[in-house]
């Protein structure tokens, strides 16, 4: 009888571990998709609204440096563009990294 209990416990443990793993994957996918949707919306707003803006276009090199350095390099033109975007579109709740990536898509 103890062998049956041991096998039952092992099977139950395997099922529980599988359920946790799939739950983690579903949660991770939901978070990643939500972040992607936010990033896509930011990119669409910035690229459509500022595609002819000289201040934003001048900041592309600084934006590339900012993204490549993961925020360590912050050029003057990028800072100016970020301030300009936030002044022109105050409803936009985006991080500096999201705006820099959006500038690169223009």
What are the tokens at 44? 């669409």
Q: pLDDT grade, residue 92 (50/70/90)?
A: confident
Question: Which pLDDT score, from 0 to 100, does residue 102 have?
Answer: 86
Which residue ranges make up each domain of the chain? 2-105
Distance (Å, rounded) from C-alpha 16 to C-alpha 8?
12
Q: What is the pLDDT of residues 25-80, one digit of tens each?
A: 555 555 555 445 555 555 555 655 677 889 989 999 999 999 999 999 999 999 99
Question: Which pLDDT score, from 0 to 100, does residue 9 have?
Answer: 66
Question: Which pLDDT score, from 0 to 100, does residue 45 have?
Answer: 56
Residues 6+ apart with CB under 8 A from 102: 42, 43, 45, 46, 47, 94
Pairwise pLDDT comparison (60 vs 19), residue with the higher score:
60
């Amino acid at each position: 009888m103890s062998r049956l209990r041991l096998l039952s416990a092992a099977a139950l443990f395997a099922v529980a571990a599988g359920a946790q793993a799939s739950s983690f994957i579903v949660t991770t996918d939901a978070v990643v998709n939500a972040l992607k949707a936010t990033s896509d919306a930011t990119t669409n707003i910035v690229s459509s609204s500022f595609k002819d803006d000289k201040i934003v276009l001048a900041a592309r090199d600084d934006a590339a440096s900012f993204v490549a350095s993961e925020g360590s390099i912050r050029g003057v033109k990028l800072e100016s563009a970020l301030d300009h975007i936030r002044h022109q579109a105050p409803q936009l709740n985006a991080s500096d990294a999201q705006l820099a990536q959006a500038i690169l898509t223009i």
